[in-house]
Amino acid sequence: MLNGYSIIDADSHVIEPPSMWAEYLEPEFKQFAPSADMKIQGEDIVKKVSRQVRDQANKQMMSAHPNAYFQGYNVESHVREMVLMGINLAFLYPTYGLWLWAIDTMQPEVAGAFTRAYNN
């Protein structure tokens, strides 16, 4: 709270645990579960983004939010970061999920399965 006003983070992101997809995808879609290095059936999810940009983004996250970064962005570390920044409320968005739904060639049924897995 700042001067009596609640602080709202309108663009906060969760980092989905890599195991989430394999755990929550329906059985007929399990073969599309991203690997720990975020590949689907061997294809890099963020192939349109250079390794240099990804590495730089990773360094920025490590620098800006070391507590959350080194704890795997678990719930406790996210809340701790919010407290440190004085945030009272946050709207949460996916991170890897956004990359998944940006795959232009993804079949609608697979996109729907990812959506259900994420929400479950």
Residue 106 domain-assigned?
A: yes
Provide the residue-wise pLDDT of the chain in tens; the chain has 120 residues.
778 899 999 988 888 887 889 899 999 999 999 887 788 888 888 776 677 877 887 888 888 778 877 887 788 888 888 898 899 999 988 887 888 877 878 899 999 999 999 999
Question: Distance between terminal CA atoms of the chain?
Answer: 32
Residue 96 domain-assigned?
A: yes
Residue 91 domain-assigned?
A: yes
Q: Residue 79: what residue type?
A: V
Residue 62 domain-assigned?
A: yes
Number of domains in the chain: 1
Contact 33, 118 (CB under 8 A): no
Range of the domain at 42: 8-119
- Closest alpha carbon to 95 in 42, 65, 30, 4: 65
Residue 2 domain-assigned?
A: no
Instruction: Note the pLDDT of residue 48.
Output: 63
Residue 1 domain-assigned?
A: no
Instruction: Note the pLDDT of residue 102.
Output: 77
Residue 3 domain-assigned?
A: no
Whether this model's pTM surpasses 0.75:
no
Residue 55 domain-assigned?
A: yes
